[in-house]
Structure 1
Amino acid sequence: MSHSLPKVELHLHLEGAAPPALIRAMAQERNEDLSGIFDESGNYSYRDFWDFLRVYEAATSVLRTPADYYRLTRAVLEECVNSGVIYVESFLSPDFCGGRDVVAWRDYLGAIREAAEEARRQDGIEMRGIVTAIRHFGPEKARETALCAAETAGDFITGFGLAGDETMGRPRDFAWSFDCAREAGLRLTAHAGEWGGPDSVAAVIDDLRVERIGHGVRAIEDLALVERIAEAGIVLEVCPGSNIALGVYPDWRSHPIEKLRERGVKVTVSTDDPPFFHTTMIREYRMLVDTFGWDESDLSELALNAARAAFCDEQTRAAVLKRLENANA
């Protein structure tokens, strides 16, 4: 069942989705030794969250040119297609793609778009980009990132977000960047409620006025906040496998996705940084079935929630919804 269902993914970091084989190949081409970040099976290997950050940084250090990002995007979208994903939104950061210089960012973006268009023609998958500021780089650099986003807003760059260390700074520090993105017509999301508690979720709603929240699961610790999220129709980009791999929750049974859903919150499911967390969209779906007894209609609801919350034009949304509905007919 989880294999055949078409899926929609809203929370995927492009660099974090890099297949280990691609990173190893790029390192070998440059005569760089990254063997310390892989296990005996060739997968990424880390001990805890902080070691994950080290391995993540090492793995992405070989991604240096627009051509590298073309290869990366093609490889990531191939993995998405293998899991039945028909529409994906990926976090893209000008911090890593040209150092927040608009001219350089356009070159990287052009390579990413070229790869996405080829995947659309060959495999039928649609991709959109969410330009993402890195929280621990600080508000001033986020402004530069927001200007890159505003300059390239359109049919492919459709959203703006905030990722990185939730313990650094306050959401209100980034209000200028979100106002800039909003004025450019971009839709808004932000990471919160993963390492930060429910207060972090309330803060991005109040200070950044987002319509989606990356993770957001720790809102469950404040049921009044959960009710507020449900009533406002704010959508959570939930990544259970990621939360468990990094120790936010000890196991699937402890994860609050089912409780959030029961309280009327619109939840979606994504993989975050899938090869780092040894997951795929197929595995996420399968674990929901095995852990909570979800059936095909529950899983279809996830995809429909995601399609309705997607940061895309209405024509694309209608086409994605039609594909989902035809699969359910």
Structure 2
Amino acid sequence: MVLKAELHCHIEGAASPALVEAQAQRYGVDVSSLIRDRSYYWQDFTTFLLAYDRAASLFRTPEDYALLAETHLTGLAQGGAIYAEFFTSPDHAMRAGLSPEAYTEGLTEGIRRARSSTGIEARMIVTGVRHYGVEAVEQAARFAAGCGHPLVTGFGMAGDERVGRPRDFARAFQIAREAGLGITVHAGEFGGADSVEDALNHINPSRIGHGVQAATKPDLLRRIAEEKVVLEVCPVSNVALKLFPNFASHPLPQLRAAGCLVTLNSDDPPHFRTSLAREYEVAAQYLGFDDAALDAVTRTAVEAAFVDEETRTALLARLAKA
């Protein structure tokens, strides 16, 4: 089995339909319009975001989040993952009546349980939600910068790329950068190639979430490769959300051929009927990745991970041993 590592997954979006149905029963909420035939139901990106928020609203206590993180990470480990980062959203926690601190501690407990049972290593990336507005993103950045939690090692921004411009959020990223956090940002999914260029110019991230629309601009691809900005690519979600009609038209091979550093990720796995293991399978079956290329993807992810050097060295040693 090829060992795996993941940098791009939203923890609320990792909740399986079965887990959400159990949470709904616990809280007396009808989710029949959200889940049909044991799968999430949505029609386009806008309704996907609404479905995501509805599912997230059913996690309301630290123990709820501990269970979510433990379940997610245990599943990853069973599929061969040795390392995972996931995006956290204090905004979703607060909307459910939970403080960011309690939310983070609940997730920490889930990480601890999964590490104890499987050996998987994990870290958290606090994210602001761009369609909640500039102040909400800055508030998330202030929490990330000030919480001092050893497993909170990065800051990013997710949400609807069609809302706002990267420069509007530059201050939030500066707050996080000054606190020593790793920086990633969603761009080039629905925002187009210009959103990637604007993110590079105004946010200066070391990683870009998605970034696939950069493939339409050769000069931009050269810049990404030269600056060694790592792309967190999510092929299955890109096809599910109709960015591309099929895997054969996905630009991941083009990104790789241009010299870009790429990783494979599951994004919001049950919403797109995927997993990290399936992303690796898709890369092998449809996108021209052999085992050596997949090993290189995992190494890239570990080298780009927001971890201390001691942890990175230990993870790289596990890869070398395998």
Q: TM class, shorter-chain normalised?
A: over 0.9
After superposition, what is the alpha-carbon deviation per residue over 1:174-223, rounded to whole angstroms, capped at 9, x for unaligned? 11111100111101000000001111001111101101000001001110
Within a 5 Å distance, the mapping from 1:2-13 to structure 2 comes to 4-13=1-10
| Kept after mapping to 2: 8 A contact 1:244/1:251 | yes
After superposition, what is the alpha-carbon deviation per residue over 1:282-325, rounded to whole angstroms, capped at 9, x for unaligned? 21111111113321101001000100000000011111111111
**Distance change (3 Å), C-alpha of 1:21 and 1:100:** closer
Report how many residues are paired.
322
**Distance change (3 Å), C-alpha of 1:153 and 1:228:** farther
Residue 119 (structure 1) shift: 1.1
Query: For 1:234, which of 210, 229, 235 is the aligned residue?
Result: 229
Residue 104 (structure 1) shift: 2.1
**TM-score, scaled to structure 2:** 0.97
Corresponding residue number in structure 2 for 1:269? 264
Distance (Å, rounded) in 2 between the aligned partners of 1:149 and 1:9: 20
Residue 144 (structure 1) shift: 1.0
Residue 30 (structure 1) shift: 1.6
Residue 98 (structure 1) shift: 2.9
* 1:34 aligned onto 2:17: no
The percent of aligned pairs where both chains have the same amino acid is 45
Equivalent AA in structure 2 for residue 204 of structure 1? A
Corresponding residue number in structure 2 for 1:55? 51
Corresponding residue number in structure 1 for 2:132? 137
Within a 5 Å distance, the mapping from 1:189-268 to structure 2 comes to 189-268=184-263
Secondary structure of the equivalent of 2:8?
strand
| Kept after mapping to 2: 8 A contact 1:19/1:75 | no
| Kept after mapping to 2: 8 A contact 1:153/1:185 | no
Query: For 1:127, which of 119, 122, 125 is the aligned residue?
Result: 122
Secondary structure of the equivalent of 2:82?
strand
* 1:65 aligned onto 2:68: no
Unaligned runs of 5+ in 2: none
Unaligned runs of 5+ in 1: none
Query: For 1:15, which of 9, 12, 28 is the aligned residue?
Result: 12
Residue 53 (structure 1) shift: 1.8
Residue 99 (structure 1) shift: 5.3
Equivalent AA in structure 2 for residue 95 of structure 1? D
Query: For 2:81, which of 71, 76, 85 is the aligned residue?
Result: 85
| Kept after mapping to 1: 8 A contact 2:253/2:288 | no
Within a 5 Å distance, the mapping from 1:92-111 to structure 2 comes to 92-98=88-94, 104-111=99-106
After superposition, what is the alpha-carbon deviation per residue over 1:224-281, rounded to whole angstroms, capped at 9, x for unaligned? 0000000000000000001000001110000000011001000000000000000111
**Distance change (3 Å), C-alpha of 1:283 and 1:174:** same
Equivalent AA in structure 1 for residue 159 of structure 2? G
Residue 118 (structure 1) shift: 1.6
Equivalent AA in structure 2 for residue 96 of structure 1? H
**Distance change (3 Å), C-alpha of 1:96 and 1:156:** same
Equivalent AA in structure 1 for residue 132 of structure 2? F
